Amino acid sequence: MKKYTLAEIAEFLQAELRGDAICVVNGIASLDKAKQNQISFCAKIPGFASDAGKYLSITKAAAVILSSKDAERYSGNALLVADPYLSYAKLTNLFIEESKSKPGIHETAVVGQNCDIHSSVAIAANCCVGNNVTIGEHSVITANCVIGDDVKIGNDCHLYPNVTIYHGVQIGNRVIIHSGAVLGADGFGMANDNGEWRKIYQLGAVRVGDDVEIGANTCIDRGALEDTVIGDGVKLDNQIQVGHNVKIGAHTIIAGCVAVAGSTSIGKYCMIGGGTSFNGHINIVDRTIITGASVVGRSITDPGVYSSAVTVQPHRKWMKTVSRLLQLNDMAGKLYKSKGK
């Protein structure tokens, strides 16, 4: 179990320490669940309306990370910072528990010809690596991963079990790809031939920048002619569909179950809520925020916050709302007629 004094944590976070510097903590917990040997934080979590500060008076935490404006509300050990939620995020680096992979290629792994795999790379059991593959320093390929021909993987990458990388995909440095993700499958391209669908073979690939994280069971399709591109610092949640020729700008973050149709371009520093769907061949400007379950049918050219989903209502009220929506066209027609008279 990892343990740290508050002095060590304060130095790591560059925080102002108020209280017992030699107090030892061995974990992180929320204010309402924290035990006497844990540290907590008081912050508004993005996307949630609740005020964690209501628990300051009852928390059992050994110490709390909080802003100076909340310091007067709490008399216990405190670490004062400008952004408590960001400091909490940084602190998780100290308490993460991950098994260390030893460099080397497991005896059950299959590696193709003309590969350039650094000696510090770890390739686990039952992996299949194609021909002409490059894997950089200290990257880890865990069990049952499949890597196609001509793939390039940078330094310090981590592929979790059962990741599939199709041929020709390029992955930058410090990229994390979670289990079940598929990069480089064919995009959904079809042409109609007298009622029958003819497959359009996808001739592009996928390019992933540095410091990207791709969630479990997320699929990123290869481009039809040009590459599908995921920019530096992009964070993709679980179960996201990224269509062919999509471009996602640097440092954009996308929550789970989002679907992005082909040839859509999403700018830099965007935030996309879960369950949002994008039409194809549209452009989203930099620094756009789209709330969850929205339907984006056209380009967005001005940065801002956009929503389209109707929030949940009691069923009977919802049925009345739908009924009135269906009557709008008739009502508009009657209104126009009355004005004509």
CATH value at residue 41:
3.40.1390.10
Q: Is residue 316 part of a domain?
A: no
Query: Which residue segment(s) compose the domain that 202 sits in?
Result: 163-306
pLDDT at 326 over 80: yes
Q: Is residue 220 a part of any domain in this protein?
A: yes
**Does residue 334 lie within any of the structural domains?**
no
Query: Any idea which residue has 């996808």 for tokens?
Result: 202
- Are the C-beta atoms of 44 and 85 separated by less than 8 Å? yes
Give per-residue pLDDT as tens, 123-138: 999 999 999 999 999 9
Whether 180 and 299 share a structural domain = yes
Tokens of 160: 């979790």
User: Looking at residue 332, what is its pLDDT?
Assistant: 86
Q: Is residue 119 part of a domain?
A: no
316: left (phi over 0), alpha (psi -120 to 50) or beta: alpha
On whether residue 180 sits in a domain, the answer given is yes
**Element at 91 (helix H, strand E):** helix 84-95
Predicted confidence band of residue 54 (pLDDT cuts 50, 70, 90): confident
- On whether both 86 and 170 belong to a single domain, the answer is no
**Residue 267 is assigned to a structural domain of this protein:** yes
Is 251 one of the catalytic residues? no
- What pLDDT digit, counting tens, does each position of 10-42 carry? 999 999 999 999 999 999 999 999 999 999 999
Split at pLDDT 50, 70, 90, the class of 310 is confident
Whole-structure pTM value: 0.92
Instruction: Identify the pLDDT of residue 46.
Output: 66
Q: Does residue 115 lie in a domain region?
A: no
Q: Are residues 182 and 78 in the same domain?
A: no
What pLDDT score was predicted for residue 195? 97
Percentage of the residues of the chain whose pLDDT score is greater than 90: 86
Domain count, the chain: 2
From 138, 158, 178, 244, active-site residue = 244
Q: How confident is the model at residue 271 (pLDDT cuts 50, 70, 90)?
A: very high
Same domain membership, residue 205 and residue 84: no
Is it the case that residue 156 has pLDDT exceeding 70?
yes
Tell me: do 221 and 300 sit in the same domain.
Answer: yes
